[in-house]
Structure 1
Amino acid sequence: MSSRASSTLVLLATVLLVTANLRPAITVVGPLIERIGSDTGLSPLSLGVLGAVPIVAFGLVAPFVHVMGRRFGLERTILISLLVLAGGTLLRSVPGGEAIPQAVTLYTGTAILSAGIGVGNVLVPAVVKRDFPEQVPLMTGVYTAALVGTAALFSGAAVPLADALGWELAFAVPAIFALLAAAGWSLRKQPASDAPKTSAPRLSGGGLPTTLWRQALAWQVTLYFGLQSTLFYTLLTWFPAIQTSHGINEASAGLWLGLFQAAGVVASLIVGQVMQRTPDQRGISAVVIAFMLVALLGIITAPELMPLWALCAGTSTGCSLLLALTFISLRAGSPRQVGKLSGMAQGVGYLLAAAGPVFAGALYQSVESWTPVLWCAMVVALAQGVLGHLAGRDVQVE
């Protein structure tokens, strides 16, 4: 193997190490959420807030990440974020006592670990743009598959781990992998920057300087990111509870949640290769939304086919995330612009998405049925389809 190929593999492997830690600490919660509520006395609305904490943290951290990356460097900033992730994960697993209620460590630890993840969310697309400028869609597909795959693994393993260790210790397991990733990332050598080569036309905006916040395309990418995140995190938080309301046991619900996420692995790898050859992503976006609409309608009308709907919904959310991340990388023209657009899209998008789990929990608490929640999710999916048609055009921000 040539030294250049070896170097490329090392760069890719270290990126995958980081992305493998961007979801497990969060996805381990969904299958155990009713057990957490039973043990802590938290209401469905409070549990919805717990599901929203990571999304709010992502949104609050994202606008400042590109400044940190520019000041400290991408490698050092990501290393620190992995250590913060590990620390927050361990804090979240600490049982409460008389002095400190368990809800305090649960919510505080979740907020801290989510802030660490939020840094990686923003900077990984910039690393991919810098290290693989000619293969952005393909490499985005590969690291999205790693992200979704590890998320699925921990969703499926959450209930067995909690049965064996207790849910608090099950919550601590992702910290081990974050520390291993930090050790691997610390050995990474920063490559020389490559000038990106793009052929997409830039949107005209007159002779005056413009910012991302004034450009329609940047807002289309941002809102697309927000709506796909709303659907994903709402299902991630409540899909097991939706299943148990139809008589499915907790362990099976956790497995179907794992299938929901695992479906995105294969979908991301396939669609990433297709997108590498397709500068316009509008057709792909339409197909992705169709899968989600079919899944939501299926859950409402034929819940006995839940594994099939989990597969359809997971295919859609996995590809939607891939599209959202690819839009950020392709609609911007340089690694620095990617960092800025990523900060905008994830800052606004995640704050928008934070309302999803909370609204779903509150609506269910008021009507004691998941059907209205699923109809609302269909409306969100249709809006995401419109924005995907706009953001999928082969153009770039200024």
Structure 2
Amino acid sequence: MPADSSTALSPEKTSTPLTSTARATAPTPGAKVRARWLLALALAVAAFNLRPAVAALGPQLEQVRTSLHMNAGVAGLLTALPSLCFALVGLLAPRLARRLGPAVTVCLGMGAITLGIAARSFAPDSAAFLLLSAFALAGIAVSNVLMPVLVKRYFPDRIGPVTGLYSMSLALGTSVAAGVAVPLTTALGGGWRVGLGVWSAAGALALLLWLVQATMLGRDGAGTPGGHTPRIRITRSPTAWLLGVFFGLQATAAYATMGWLPQIFQDAGISATQSGLLLAVTMAVGAPLSFVIPSLAARLPHQGPVAAVLAACGLASYAGLAFAPAAAPWAWALLLGVANCAFPLVLTMIGLRSRTSEGVAKLSAFVQGVGYLISVPGPVLIGVLYQREHGWSGPLALLAALMAVQLVLGLRAGRPRQIEDEV
């Protein structure tokens, strides 16, 4: 990051002459650079905490169900809860950010994540577990929406690299939580309560960093009663709808991968252990690519070709899984991991499709709200098709069709457009 005066955390500049007192207290360029790096670190640590509440639960869900006497209906609701919370609660994020400022709002989100994860490990019954999980997911939902907003506001000259940084951290948080949840629980010897509650420690670290950011930035970015901001009717933007449906289709593919890929390999005769490793490879390949792809996409005037390449990798993987899953399983896993990097790509496009941080806030909330709602029925429908056909031809054909639509939408959403010009 450059060390000149443009690296100030405040995105606004003023031509008003500084008084002698102001000059004496104004931060030096070096202090501004350090503050900017601290904010980038806070974004990365926050992003790491946006998926362990979900990823660490999956491998231990059966233990939770048995311990809390959770019926199948509640367990099904629990698996659908992340998408529902991300969609519905995320829509409130722009309003909170206007009132409190994005940094303060993310700080509250980190607090909700930390408290929710810690408290649900003491839940006495399934109703309390569900409620506390929803509380943690609400904090995640708000933070999900505001990550691109903070990047746009404080790193307008580094949208690609900083989006890549927090996308990579999010991918790491997902893969680490999924991969070490069971071994960590075994090592700690405390059962699922300790195995789930321990992730609140990472949330507490993020909360401390964001308390510092909330103190430094305060209500910066909050709306003022006397201020005039052009109203953006986001639902009138074709680009917003393109990005929303694109987000929903890539989320559907990602959730289907996490939920069903091991079963696809096992039905092809691959062992459960190797199937788990193949899923880990699919998830792990996203970490480095989540850093590279946003930086590349932000340099291009048109992000459509990147979306097309990622979708082509997904189509190739689905074809391999459908016709020869055991012939080259590592290749199919790698290709699917590349295809799932449409997530950091769409986050980058959100930051590029508006001129202001408020516009990005509305666009981010709309895209993620629409997208996560679209993604809710996907994995369930895949399971229904699999149960009806006792095979994977139908489910993989459906996923391939959705991926083809995602490719077309990505080409259109990647065009250089600003939502302010459309509405």
TM score, norm. by length of structure 2: 0.81
Indicate the residue corresponding to 2:174 in structure 1.
Answer: 151
Structure of higher RCO (CA pairs closer than 8 Å, 6+ residues apart): 1
Q: CA deviation at 1:364?
A: 3.3
Residue pair 1:93, 1:168 contacting (<8 A) in 2 also: yes
Question: What one-letter code is carried by the residue in structure 2 that aligns with 1:227?
Answer: L
Indicate the residue corresponding to 2:201 in structure 1.
Answer: 176
Per the alignment, do residues 92 and 356 of structure 1 end up closer, same or farther by CA in structure 2, a change over 3 Å counting?
Answer: farther
Question: What one-letter code is carried by the residue in structure 2 that aligns with 1:187?
Answer: V
User: Aligned partners of 1:92 and 1:292: how far apart in 2?
Assistant: 36
User: Aligned partners of 1:347 and 1:209: how far apart in 2?
Assistant: 19
- Which one of 254, 260, 270 corresponds to residue 232 of structure 1? 254
Secondary structure, counterpart of 2:340 in structure 1 = helix
Residue pair 1:329, 1:338 contacting (<8 A) in 2 also: yes
Indicate the residue corresponding to 1:117 in structure 2.
Answer: 140
Q: CA deviation at 1:123?
A: 0.6
1:22 matched to 2:45: no
Residue pair 1:93, 1:171 contacting (<8 A) in 2 also: yes
Per the alignment, do residues 360 and 172 of structure 1 end up closer, same or farther by CA in structure 2, a change over 3 Å counting?
Answer: farther
CA RMSD of aligned residues (A): 2.7
User: Aligned partners of 1:108 and 1:33: how far apart in 2?
Assistant: 16
Superposed CA deviations along residues 296-319 of structure 1, whole A, max 9, x for unmatched, are 22222333333332221122112x
Indicate the residue corresponding to 1:71 in structure 2.
Answer: 99
User: Aligned partners of 1:41 and 1:161: how far apart in 2?
Assistant: 23
Question: What one-letter code is carried by the residue in structure 2 that aligns with 1:58?
Answer: F
Q: CA deviation at 1:160?
A: 1.7
Superposed CA deviations along residues 223-242 of structure 1, whole A, max 9, x for unmatched, are 11111111112222333344
Q: CA deviation at 1:73?
A: 1.4
User: Aligned partners of 1:236 and 1:339: how far apart in 2?
Assistant: 28
Indicate the residue corresponding to 2:334 in structure 1.
Answer: 311
Deviates more, 1:30-39 or 1:301-310: 30-39
- Which one of 283, 307, 311 corresponds to residue 261 of structure 1? 283
**Aligned residue-pair number:** 378
Residue pair 2:104, 2:218 contacting (<8 A) in 1 also: no
Per the alignment, do residues 86 and 267 of structure 1 end up closer, same or farther by CA in structure 2, a change over 3 Å counting?
Answer: same
Percent sequence identity over aligned pairs:
32
Per the alignment, do residues 42 and 391 of structure 1 end up closer, same or farther by CA in structure 2, a change over 3 Å counting?
Answer: same
Indicate the residue corresponding to 2:90 in structure 1.
Answer: 62
- Which one of 333, 350, 353 corresponds to residue 375 of structure 2? 353
1:276 matched to 2:298: yes
Output aligned runs, 1:193-342, within 5 Å.
211-304=233-326, 305-318=328-341, 320-342=342-364
Per the alignment, do residues 50 and 367 of structure 1 end up closer, same or farther by CA in structure 2, a change over 3 Å counting?
Answer: farther
Per the alignment, do residues 13 and 238 of structure 1 end up closer, same or farther by CA in structure 2, a change over 3 Å counting?
Answer: same
Per the alignment, do residues 32 and 285 of structure 1 end up closer, same or farther by CA in structure 2, a change over 3 Å counting?
Answer: same
Structure showing greater radius of gyration is 2
Residue pair 1:156, 1:254 contacting (<8 A) in 2 also: no
- Which one of 382, 385, 389 corresponds to residue 404 of structure 2? 382
Residue pair 1:158, 1:254 contacting (<8 A) in 2 also: no
Superposed CA deviations along residues 202-252 of structure 1, whole A, max 9, x for unmatched, are xxxxxx986110121111111111111111122223333444444555554
User: Aligned partners of 2:32 and 2:202: how far apart in 1?
Assistant: 28
Indicate the residue corresponding to 2:38 in structure 1.
Answer: 10
Indicate the residue corresponding to 2:217 in structure 1.
Answer: 190
Per the alignment, do residues 42 and 375 of structure 1 end up closer, same or farther by CA in structure 2, a change over 3 Å counting?
Answer: farther
Structure 1, unaligned runs of 5 or more: 195-207
User: Aligned partners of 1:122 and 1:13: how far apart in 2?
Assistant: 18
TM score, norm. by length of structure 1: 0.86
User: Aligned partners of 1:76 and 1:303: how far apart in 2?
Assistant: 48
Per the alignment, do residues 351 and 105 of structure 1 end up closer, same or farther by CA in structure 2, a change over 3 Å counting?
Answer: same
Residue pair 1:138, 1:272 contacting (<8 A) in 2 also: yes
